[in-house]
Amino acid sequence: MKLLRIALGIILPPVGVFMTMGVGSALLINILLTLLGWLPGSIHAVWVILKHEEKEAREGSAY
């Protein structure tokens, strides 16, 4: 699933962020960045997805 979200984050940045975070501030920021250009939106999407995965890994290993 992580690989799918990263691929979508690169190809369609808002979709990848939506699948990871849902509707929220990260999605709105990503939509605005994608409107400015595909590259800023893709970079932000991959960053959001990887940070979310990192946070889940930290929380999972704490228990």
Give per-residue pLDDT as tens, 26-46. 999 999 999 999 999 999 999
Q: 59 falls in which pLDDT band (50, 70, 90)?
A: confident
Report the candidate in 35, 49, 40 with the shortest Cα–Cα distance to residue 4: 49
Q: What is the mean pLDDT of residues 58-62?
A: 75
d(CA 61, CA 4) in angstroms, rounded, equals 23
**Res 2: pLDDT:** 86
62: pLDDT strictly greater than 70: no
4: pLDDT strictly greater than 70: yes
